[in-house]
Structure formats: structure tokens, C-alpha cells
Amino acid sequence: MQRRTFLTTAAMGAAASTLAAPALAQGKMQWKMVTAWPKNLPGPGVAAQMLADRITALSGGRIEVKLFAAGELVPGRGVFDAVSEGTAELYHAVPAYWGSKSKGILLFGSQPFGLRADEQFGWLYHGGGQALYDEMYGRFNLKPFLCGNSGPQWGGWFRTEINSVDDLKGLKFRTTGLASEMATKIGMAAEAMSGPAMFQALQTGALDAGEFIGPWTDSALGYYQVAKNYYWPGVGEPSSAEECAVNADAFNALPDDLKQAVSLACESLYNPVWTEYTTKHAAALKKLVEEEGVMVKRFPDSVISAMGDAAAEVIDELRQDDDELVKRITESFVAYRDSVGGYMTFADNGQMNARAAVMGY
């Protein structure tokens, strides 16, 4: 896909002039969904449209959701405030973008050396995480739901080869969430910016390296054109949950059946979105290597070890946060991670190691 297909957006003023307040006509509501993504960006942009369509379908058309991509109504990083304040009814983004609101929010999206996609869903739905998610977002007049996951993200695109922790020191590196705190602790200069902005920064040399999602989305954004070293494993984000947050007043005003429709629309997309990423990441990686000359490289063990030490510091700091709710969220995450992680040694990890030993992958 050409980058221009989804990077072109309408001017904010022109889009805003076409908007009408949410209307109820013959029993139908019109809801605005704002997103953090360019229109139809492979991965999250596609998933956002899927969610808008599914809410409309499951509500029997009683909630008609219209999607506004990043910049069409509000900037991508402005969607949290827009929905909190009622400018739009719901957004599609990732928790990793809202650390300035509370660091506790970051745990609901991804954690360095943390939960995989299935484990993240398990924590929220079976480990008490959803109640904490609701409590945190309730502070901002939002009702949150997980609605997808990218699966394991990659370590990033680097202009130069990485052979030691010293090679990372001082590098200007695009990342988000708790991964940015981990990167800072090992001497990198973490930069927060959108995926399209990362391409421009790599091209001009304003960035030395950066990570966004994985092969499917990353190839569409063209990073391989300006950085050929593609590193794994992405220990900063073993998974990255996508979320839908609904204005709490709008959600609470719904009858029970429409509340259920919104909830089920989000929940029912988690696996389809996650498995689409996995399927298309695999195909995209093959193409990147065979047709674009991308060099897939593993971080040295010494680098992974240093990242692990830094990640432990990040979590310890959250456990000592002044905010009592942040502490409770962190303790819940750690307890679930340790419980399920111990089991995975014998379950999924055991099976994958056995398959690799026999099949080579």
C-alpha cells in the first residue's frame, strides 16, 4: 500500500464545519468516533473502522457510528480529551498514549517484559483488571474497553547495527508508554510521535531509530526505505492492546441492550484484530526480507538483559507511586503476570519450544 493512501487527511476546519451534534431521529443516534490513526492505516486504522461498523451492526443501526481519522476532527493525541469532554462519543487508540494523565493507564496497554495478547485479555476479564480499568478511566468521564491487540511488537528500525548497550546510549528513539521509560533508563533519548511522523524523522536524521508496531503496519509506513536493520524481540511491548473509550455520560444514557451491543462489539473484535495482525505480519515480514533487503536481527543477550533490569525498575517505581490507584493496578498486574507466567512455562512456552526444536520454527 502506498503511504499517500492513508496519510492524506482533510483540513480540520473543513471537517469540523460538516459536523452536527449527536441526533436522535426515529430512534437512531449518530455517534462520532475519533481515532489516533490515519484513515485505513493497515492495523489500527483498519481495526477502528471495523469497530465503528460492528457497533452500528450490533445495535441494529440504532447507533450509527461515523469515524473521523486523526486530524479530521481532533489531532490523534487529542482523542482522549475530546471524548472525555463530549466533543465526540468514543475513540479508538491505545492506552500507551495517555501516560500524562496517569502512569497507571499505561499498564492497560502494554508492559515491558509483560503480558502477551491473550494474557492481557485474561487479566482484564478474569484477573480483576477491568474493574481497575473502569475506576481509572472513570476519573476522566470515560468507559473503557479493549477491542484488539497487535500481538508482539518489534524492537525497532535502526539506522546502524546494535552490538552492545553502549551502542544504544544517546540514540534518539521513537517509542511510547512504559517502553519509553525503559529506553530512557538504558541511556536512549525516547521521543513520542505518530507513526507517519516517525518516517519523516528517520528520513531526515532527527531520529536514529524507532519502533511503531510490526511488519504489516510498519511496511505500509515505509520505514524500510530509511532504516534497514529490523530488530527483535520487542520486549518493550510483548503485546499492545487497542482500546475503545466511550464518553461515560453517553454510555450511561444508553438502554441496557445498547450498552451490551457496544460492549460485545469491542470484546468480539479482540481476537479477529489480533489474529489479523499475526497473519499479515508474517506475510509482510517475508516480503520485507525477500524484496526490500531488510535485515532481521536479534538484540544481543547483553542488551536484552539491560532492558530487563530497566523494566524491573519501571515497575518498582509504579508500585511506589503516590497514587493509591496506580499502586493497586500495578500489584494486580504483577500478581497476574507472575501467576500466568509460571503456568506458561509448561503450557504455551513449552509447546512453542518443542515445535521449534522439531520443526525449526
Q: Is the pLDDT of residue 7 over 80?
A: no
Query: Does some domain include residue 64?
Result: yes
Q: Is the pLDDT of residue 258 over 70?
A: yes
The predicted model scores a pTM of: 0.91
Q: Average pLDDT, stretch 154-167? A: 98
How far apart (Å, rounded) are the C-alpha atoms in residues 259 and 19?
24
pLDDT tens digit string along 81-140?
999 999 999 999 999 999 999 999 999 999 999 999 999 999 999 999 999 999 999 999
pLDDT tens digit string along 177-211?
999 999 999 999 999 999 999 999 999 999 999 99
Which CATH number characterizes residue 70's domain? Answer: 3.40.190.170
How far apart (Å, rounded) are the C-alpha atoms in residues 175 and 100?
15
The grid coordinates listed for 355 are: 515445535
What's the pLDDT at 20? 37
- Predicted confidence band at 23 (pLDDT cuts at 50, 70, 90)? very low
The grid coordinates listed for 237 are: 511491548
Query: Does some domain include residue 256?
Result: yes
pLDDT tens digit string along 42-54?
999 999 999 999 9
What's the pLDDT at 26? 57
Q: Average pLDDT, stretch 340-351? A: 95
pLDDT tens digit string along 273-326?
999 999 999 999 999 999 999 999 999 999 999 999 999 999 999 999 999 999
Q: Average pLDDT, stretch 37-45? A: 97
SS3 356: helix
What's the pLDDT at 27? 78
Query: Does some domain include residue 251?
Result: yes
Q: φ, ψ for residue 143 (rounded to 5)? A: -115, 115
The DSSP code for 358 is H
Owning domain of residue 136: 4-151+239-279
How far apart (Å, rounded) are the C-alpha atoms in residues 324 and 114?
21
b/e map 237-257, b = 16+ CB within 10 Å? bbbbbbbbbbbbebbeebeee
Query: Does some domain include residue 302?
Result: no
Cβ neighbours, 10 Å, residue 338: 10
CA-to-CA separations, 338 to 113, 114, 124, 229, 353, in angstroms, rounded: 11, 9, 15, 33, 20
The grid coordinates listed for 155 are: 524492537
Number of domains in the chain: 1
- Predicted confidence band at 270 (pLDDT cuts at 50, 70, 90)? very high
Query: Does some domain include residue 226?
Result: no
b/e map 169-193, b = 16+ CB within 10 Å? eebbbbbbbbbbbbbebbebebbbb
CA-to-CA separations, 222 to 1, 88, 154, 294, in angstroms, rounded: 9, 31, 15, 12
The grid coordinates listed for 128 are: 480483576
Q: Write the DSSP assignment of 168-217 as a string of letters.
A: TTT-EEE--HHHHHHHHHTT-EEE---HHHHHHHHHHTS-SEE--S-HHH
Residue whose C-alpha is closest to residue 150's, from 233, 47, 75:
47
Query: Does some domain include residue 110?
Result: yes
Query: Does some domain include residue 352?
Result: no
Q: Is the pLDDT of residue 141 over 80?
A: yes
How far apart (Å, rounded) are the C-alpha atoms in residues 82 and 91?
9
The C-alpha R_g of the chain, in whole angstroms, comes to 20
Cβ–Cβ < 8 Å for 299, 160: no
Query: Does some domain include residue 160?
Result: no
Q: Average pLDDT, stretch 9-33? A: 54
